[in-house]
Amino acid sequence: MEHKFIPFALPDIGEEEIAEVVDALRSGWITTGPKTKRFEQDFSSVFDAVTESIAVNSATAGLHIALEAVGISSGDEVITTPYTFTATAEVVRYLGAHPVFVDIDPNTLNIDQTKIEAAITSKTKAIIPVHFAGLACDMTEILRIARKHNLKVIEDAAHALPTRYQGKLIGDLESDAAVFSFYATKTITTGEGGMVVTRNPDIAARCRMMRLHGISRDAFDRYTSTKPSWHYEVVAPGFKYNMTDLAAAMGIHQLKKAWPFQKRRQAMAERYDRELAGFPIKFPPHAAHEDMHAWHLYVIQLQSNAGMQRDRFIEEMSQRGIGCSVHFIPLHLHPYWRDTYKLKPEDFPNALAVYQSAVSLPLYTKMTDEDQSRVVRAIREIIS
């Protein structure tokens, strides 16, 4: 009998993270301070082109202030994918702007770049590509379209650390900003957290200010600058999006592990490919040979000849002590997006079809080879 429950995701926290958090606790400085500053510096050093990294308390917060920093405002339109988490589109609404959804390419599950231009109107101001599961979008084409139509590009890189595209890391491309997530299930975690990276010093300065109440210098500088420590100026109605040093303490060590973690997840993805080959499953796409897929998620699609609907499959897996998930319920099926923008299921046929058969299999670095063998055995049993 097999008893241990295998969840679909689990964070991988080591003694280094624990010691660093304890160090922050003992230091007396637990909110934004020296550890956040170090995490930001370490983060920037990973990239060639990034000039600044701005740590925030979630990727949602980061997407919000990045869009604000590039000037998205009420009535603007922002093009994105329906095959994402609600945060991607929700931040557009925070600014009074409107998301315009463009269907996905059923092979990559990323926004179909060939359909973007048809969605552009005189109100379109930006594109938010989402690198689904950690596979880069066709950024060459997206950046070409953006340049041609004078649009901003904010990458939702919540799944994309580390993702490499045509030799460059996501974060190093010529978009306006990229935003990473350190939510508990993501490729690296700080519990909750996010990072905005940009090569544009004006965007960086605006994000830095807006993440903390629109105060012109952040708390760290306030206590280290030569001006009186009580002095600050509010120059905009900002937000409360700063990262704590407790979170940053985790991030410093998680970041160092991002590449070994990716290597492990890729090996596990390749093992799923190998050991499930021949079953009625559509496998997730890989990155081009010279590129890197972050493998945040391993999403299979059950084929019609699997003899089983997706919901039943997940139920059967659950009965065998294995947690699966679904990424994503497309936004146009959710009541808010459906009703606000009068969207019909068939408006995005590829997103709908993928969703109906998609299953995210367990994929995390703490999963053992034996855990993965159990997952493979269960799948073979269920769909044969």
CA–CA gap between residue 308 and residue 316 (Å, rounded): 10
**Contact call for residues 216 and 232 (beta carbons, < 8 A):** yes
State the CB neighbour count (10 A cutoff) for residue 48. Answer: 10
- Contacts of ligand PLP in 217-246 (CB under 6 A): none
Residue among 88 and 163 whose Cβ is closer to ligand PLP: 88
**375 burial type by CB count under 10 A (0-12 exposed, 13-18 middle, 19+ buried):** buried
| Separation CA 258–CA 195 (nearest Å) | 14
- Residue closer to ligand PLP by CB (options 254, 306) is 254
Q: Which of 21, 24, 54, 59 binds ligand PLP (CB under 6 A)?
A: 59
The secondary structure of 91-112, three-state, reads HHHHCCCEEEECCECCCCCCEC
Complex with ligand PLP: residue 60 or 266, whichever CB lies closer: 60
Active site residues: 186
- Tokens linked to 234: 């509010």
**Smallest distance, ligand PLP to C-beta of residue 193, A:** 7
DSSP sequence for 276-308: TTTSSEEPPPPPPTTSB---S-EEEEE-GGGSS
By CB under 6 A, residue 194 contacts ligand PLP: yes
Give CA–CA dist 296/305, Å, rounded. 27
- Contact in structure between 78 and 127 (CB atoms under 8 Å): yes
At its nearest, how many Å lie between ligand PLP and the CB of residue 86?
8
Stretch that binds ligand PLP, among 25-33, 47-55, 82-90, 224-232 (CB under 6 A): 82-90
Residue with tokens 């303490």: 249
Contacting residue, 32, 108, 181, 301, with ligand PLP by CB under 6 A: 181
Neighbours of 278 (CB within 10 A): 7
Across the beta sheet with 194-198, the strand order is 52-56, 194-198, 177-181, 152-156, 124-128, 77-80, 98-101
Q: Is 133 in the site for ligand PLP (CB under 6 A)?
A: no
Closer by beta carbon to ligand PLP, 185 or else 200: 185
Residue keyed to tokens 């679909």 = 8
Q: Name the residue nearer to ligand PLP (CB basis): 203 or 294.
A: 294
Instruction: Report the nearest approach of ligand PLP to the CB of residue 162 (Å).
Output: 16
The smaller minimum CB distance to ligand PLP, of residues 182 and 232, is found at 182
User: Rounded to the nearest whole angstrom, what is the least distance from the CB of residue 151 to ligand PLP in the complex?
Assistant: 19
x/- map, 308-347, ligand PLP, by CB under 6 A? ----------------------------------------
Helix (H, G, I), strand (E, B) or coil at 181: strand
User: Which residue's CB is nearer to ligand PLP, number 212 or number 378?
Assistant: 212
Q: Using CB under 6 A, which of the segments 7-15, 57-65, 239-247, 349-357 binds ligand PLP?
A: 57-65
- Sole window of 58-66, 168-176, 204-212, 311-319 interacting with ligand PLP (rule: CB under 6 A): 58-66
Q: Which position among 83, 183, 241, 295 is part of the footprint of ligand PLP (CB under 6 A)?
A: 183
Q: How far is the CB of 109 from ligand PLP (least distance, A)?
A: 11
195 binds ligand PLP (CB under 6 A): no
Question: Do the beta carbons of residue 264 and residue 48 sit within 8 Å?
Answer: no
Which alpha helices (H) appear in the chain, and where do they start and end? 15-27, 34-45, 59-69, 86-94, 139-149, 201-210, 219-224, 245-275, 310-319, 335-340, 349-357, 369-383
Site string for ligand PLP, 145-164 (x = CB under 6 A): -----------x-xx-----
Contact call for residue 58 and ligand PLP (CB under 6 A): yes
Q: Is 84 in the site for ligand PLP (CB under 6 A)?
A: yes
Q: Please count the residues of this chain forming the interface with ligand PLP, following the rule CB under 6 A.
A: 14
Of residues 60 and 113, the one with the C-beta less far from ligand PLP: 60
| Binder among 85, 232, 239, 298 for ligand PLP (CB under 6 A) | 85
State yes or no: residue 247 binds ligand PLP (CB under 6 A): no
- CA 244 – CA 31 distance, rounded (Å): 4
Segment (H or E) for 168 = strand 168-169
Residues that bind ligand PLP (CB under 6 A): 58-60, 84-85, 87-88, 130, 156, 158-159, 181, 183, 194
